[in-house]
Chain A
Amino acid sequence: MKHQPQFYQQSRIPSTAARWWDNFTQNKLATSALVVLSFIILIAIFSPLLAPYDPTLQFDEYLIPPSWHANGQPQFLLGTDEIGRDILSRLIYGARLSLKLALIVVAIAATIGILLGTVTAFSNRYIEHLVLRIMDLILALPSLLLAIVIVAIIGPGLPNAIYAVAVVLIPHFVLTTRSAIRNEINKDYVTAMILDGANKTRLFLKGILPNILPPLIVQLTLAFSTAVLEIAALGFLGLGAQAPNPEWGTILSESHDNIVNAPWTVTFPGLAIFFTLLSINLVGDGLRDAMDLEK
């Protein structure tokens, strides 16, 4: 059994996922973005091990510039902030917090959105119309404005900011899910399944769901990048995570006071947000191309 002689020239038909992966890795930019993103995620997961100090630990050295600067100190690689906290440690813990928050937001929005979208797709004309009108309206409103109004009602702070951003993201999932299902539902394979006697649950889980996955995956990455950005924006405006929390947007708004006299306190948190967003967007783009989706 060790080595079976091959009688036919075989070509294994790759699975769908493998095909997507092959396509994706063709795109060098997207692949390197994926590497960067995985790197950021690893930092987030292992932040307690990686960070040199506790993110709230205050040293007596205020506003020390980064270590390569003439006045820098080697023990503070990216310098310290206004009350003597190590910026690198705060950013590392910030990765954990910011990504975790974005993940929660996307999870909430996706669950509600996909459920609602599915229900809408299978329901009658009137309900569908009503849901679509409301979703259109929420989409038409400026997202940050809506989030701010929600935060104003339920009060600033972390859990509330999560709800606010999640609400803003729901319509995207509803619309994507609905239109994807609508696209599939009239195709022949679905009719075939119905003729085979599949019930509605089976029809959805085994038939339609695998086929609407590509647009949903792309939507998930898009939502993830929006969530990171909006949470940071709320934090920056003082409506999201509150002061001692090392959330990136909150760090930026805290260091805003020192923009003139200590620009590095602003540069690094911004770079962290920027690279995270960029890598998520590149990966999303790559996925879209790999799965042959039109925008």
Chain B
Amino acid sequence: MIKLLIRQSLLLITSLFILTIFTFSISRFFPSENFNQQLQIQAEHSALENYSRYLSQIFSGQWGNSELRGSDVLQEFLTFFPATMELATLALCFALLCGIPLGITAAKNKNSWQDKLITSSTLVGYSMPIFWWGMLLVLLVSLSWGLTPVASRLGFEYDIIPVTGFMLVDTLISEQPYAVEAFYDALHHLLLPSIVLGTIPLAIFTRVTRSAMIKVLSSDYIRTAKAKGLSDFRIIWLHAMRNALIPILTVVGLQISVLITGTLITETIFSWPGIGKWLLEAVYRRDFVTLHAGLLAISALVIFTNVIVEVLTYYVNPKLRIRE
């Protein structure tokens, strides 16, 4: 176990190191004097010298000030990040909560009409251009049926002080008399964006669960369990699930970057005040300090999550544990 942690942290450190080399070299192409100035990069120094200066700036947390607002970009990132994190988490939950049961249903009734319906729906979901899907849902659900709000994170009748930046948390810890009501309102606002963002992961989770389950269900130990007369529920959730979880977990790790890609578009459609919108604004204004900070922070985050998923997979998978 300790060995694994050491190995994973070493991997994390090298990956982050390569990442800084990557962002440093890509930043050499930024057509922005301001960026170089703010990160202490000077043309007269050698590339190596500049890289070490760059690293020391990055590690001391001085990522520069944004050209638009003039405030510290790292601070800005932290302001916008919770909104994105909240959205992505909920989308992930939605995708897992719907995807796994759907995948199991399909696997259990392999080649039945349910299976066919589910598999073809996943292909539809997987092929959905989410910028169009989002607009379509806003048009139908929000405007035609009036079921969900069009945009923003909370109704403006609720005055909630942002403490953590996570609206679901902030509403609950708020001392206003309408705290609980505001919590449900925040959830209500999150509903449509997280469905849009979760559509592609949902399709992928369903497919992966289905194929993993089919494989597991045809194995000998499941047949033994069936012979013993265990209920379907016990067989699937207690015995089969544990083995099917491994490929699912691996895919969850891969979906993190899909989710981030999705937030860039989802936040544009729903005017969600998160990092996706923040980054796009930076691109339109050609604010390279912000762009660099966003690229570095998001990539580091993705790498970090991947390592965590790796450790989790190890945890769940007894085969890997025994091999040590």
Direct contact of A and B (CB under 8 A): yes
- The distance in angstroms between the C-alpha atoms of A280 and B257, with both chains bound, is 23
What is the CA–CA distance of A141 and B18 in the complex, to the nearest angstrom?
A: 13
Residue of B131, B279, B303 touching A145 (CB-CB under 8 A): B279
List of B residues within 8 angstroms of A225 by Cβ: 127
Are A236 and B131 touching (Cβ within 8 A)?
Answer: yes
Given the interface pairs A141-B302, A142-B260, A145-B261, the reply to whether A151 lies near B283 with Cβ below 8 Å is yes
Contact indicator A274/B132 (Cβ below 8 Å): yes
9 A–B pairs (Cβ distance < 8 Å), ordered by A: A137-B18, A142-B264, A143-B261, A145-B294, A146-B295, A233-B265, A249-B131, A266-B135, A285-B123
Secondary structure of the A contact surface, majority rule = helix
With contacts A259-B139, A266-B135, A295-B211 taken as known, whether A144 is within 8 angstroms of B306 at the C-beta atoms is no
Q: Does B221 contact A (CB under 8 A)?
A: no
Chain B at the A interface: SS class: helix
- Bound CA–CA A148/B290 (angstroms): 13
Interface size in chain B (residues, C-beta < 8 A):
47
CB pair A232–B129 under 8 Å, yes or no, is yes
Q: Judging by beta carbons under 8 Å apart, are A278 and B123 in contact? A: yes
Q: List A219-259 residues whose CB lies under 8 Å from chain B.
A: 225, 229, 232-233, 236-239, 249, 252, 256, 259
CB of B178 within 8 Å of the partner chain: no
Given the interface pairs A140-B299, A144-B264, A259-B139, the reply to whether A252 lies near B288 with Cβ below 8 Å is no
Q: How many residues of A contact B (CB 8 A)?
A: 45
A149 touches B295 (CB 8 A): yes
| Chain A contacts for B138, CB-based, 8 A | 259
User: In the complex, how many angstroms separate the beta carbon of A294 from the nearest chain B beta carbon?
Assistant: 10
Whether a CB of chain B sits under 8 angstroms from the CB of A273 is yes
In the bound complex, do residue A137 and residue B295 qualify as a contact, i.e. CB atoms below 8 Å apart?
A: no
Contact A142 B123 (CB under 8 A): no
| Least distance between B142 CB and chain A CB atoms (Å) | 10
Q: Which residues of A contact B (CB under 8 A)?
A: 29, 133-134, 136-137, 140-146, 148-149, 151-154, 225, 229, 232-233, 236-239, 249, 252, 256, 259-260, 263, 266-267, 269-270, 273-274, 277-278, 280-282, 285, 295
B24 at the interface (CB under 8 A from A): no
Q: In the complex, what's the smallest C-beta–C-beta distance from B316 to chain A, in angstroms? A: 20
Q: Are A145 and B260 in contact (CB under 8 A)?
A: yes
* B29 and A133 form a contact (CB under 8 A): no
Contact flag A142-B258 (CB < 8 Å), given A152-B283, A152-B291, A277-B127: yes
Please state if B135 and A259 are interface contacts (CB–CB under 8 Å). Answer: yes
Whether the pair A153, B139 counts as a contact (CB closer than 8 A) is no
* CA gap between A219 and B21 in the complex, in Å: 29
